[in-house]
Amino acid sequence: MLTYLTLIFACQLLGELLVGALALPIPGPVVGMVLMFVFLLIRGHVPEDLGRVTAGLLGTMSLLFVPAGTGVMLHFHLLGEAALPLGAGLLVSTLATIAVTGVLMAWLGAERSDG
């Protein structure tokens, strides 16, 4: 299991290095996640130990939101000052997400029924 935990961190590190070297405008962990996805595509399946490691990480992921929640409460007055743009952004992004998901599901459903 330590091997797969090391693989996860190695993919993240490689993603960070690629973003730094190529000056990419996306976060290093996202590039690392893509690298892990490519690894899994090549392998053809998710190894059982990797599944256990990721389940453990996902189980403790809520702990990572404690510092963010503390920061939000610390700067709550800033949220009040920017309530209108934040609310508008949340509304527009939610509607866009619903629309894109609906269009994609309709497209994929039509493709599946044709084939």
Q: Are residues 91 and 107 in the same domain?
A: yes
Pairwise CA distance, residues 29 & 76, whole Å: 28
Smallest Cα–Cα separation from 31: which of 13, 45, 47, 49?
13
Range of the structural domain that residue 94 is part of: 67-115
pLDDT for position 50: 94
Sign of CA dihedral 73, 78, 84, 88: negative
Q: Are residues 75 and 111 in the same domain?
A: yes
Smallest Cα–Cα separation from 36: which of 60, 59, 10?
10
Q: Are residues 1 and 26 in the same domain?
A: yes
Q: What is the pLDDT of residues 5-23, one digit of tens each?
A: 999 999 999 999 999 999 9
pLDDT at 112 over 90: no
This prediction's pTM:
0.59
| The total number of structural domains that make up the chain | 2
Question: Which of 32, 59, 86 is the last residue in one of the domains?
Answer: 59
